[in-house]
Amino acid sequence: MKGKVVARDLSWSLGGAGALLLIFIVLSQSISAKWLQAFDQHVGGYIQEQRGDTWTSVAKFFTFMGSGSTEFILFFLVAGLLYFKFKHRWETLVLFVGVLGAWLLNSGLKDLIKRDRPSAEVWLIEVDSFSFPSGHAMVSILFYGLLAYLLWVNVRQTWRAAWLIPPIAVLVILCIGLSRIYLGVHYPSDVLAGYTAGGLGLIGCMHAIRTIRRRRVMTSTPKGKTTFLENM
């Protein structure tokens, strides 16, 4: 039974990672393609047409939520909770490596691809790096996605409202990506590419955490007894 669970988990992880990698490759190789430029123009233009004082304040808030300084503070709060309350030092390490890796990879991809930002005429904030893929989108899907997953697996059996955690995380991640388009500093395809690249990291980190938790359960569960975790 355990072998089937592990094999199923691995196959789903590899399948999802493969699909995201394919999408990222298509996007990165299509930056100059007319179809992608048309997509960016129409979607980006529509989002920016909704500009107003209230929406601009909302967009700046979500961009702040996706900034490195905010995620740095939240990381240490969550890492402390995982380490000192739940005694999950390995999960803390996965979170650290995942987020650090996402930032470094994003910086490397931007320098490699060197896509210019949209025209500064549409910017509502100042930026100073290349555009593809969006760092906010890439890191936020991994960071907030992994935070939500870690919180959910630790409280789902004791907190009735735990089911709200995944949809809230998805909403925050989507709003961070949309805020970058709204503020004029990213093309929609930058954000999509960021989600796919960050999603790859999220899948890998979640698989690592499930493996860690299975091994922990195996060392603490009597032989022959099946746990809820093994049937995830």
pLDDT at 222: 55
pLDDT at 176: 97
Q: Above 50 in pLDDT, residue 22?
A: yes
Instruction: Give dist(CA 158, CA 183) in Å, integer.
Output: 40
Q: What's the pLDDT tens digit per position in 114-152?
A: 999 999 999 999 898 899 999 999 999 999 999 999 888
Single-letter amino acid, residue 108:
G
Instruction: Give dist(CA 136, CA 103) in Å, integer.
Output: 9
Q: Above 70 in pLDDT, residue 223?
A: no
Q: Above 80 in pLDDT, residue 88?
A: no
226: alpha, beta or left? (left if phi > 0; alpha if psi -120 to 50): beta
pLDDT at 219: 67
Q: What's the pLDDT tens digit per position in 33-82?
A: 999 999 999 999 999 999 999 999 999 999 999 988 888 888 888 777 77
119: alpha, beta or left? (left if phi > 0; alpha if psi -120 to 50): beta
pLDDT at 212: 83
Tell me how far CA of residue 5 lies from CA of 225, 226, 232, in angstroms. Answer: 14, 11, 8
pLDDT at 96: 85
Q: Above 80 in pLDDT, residue 216?
A: no
Is pTM, for the whole model, over 0.75? yes
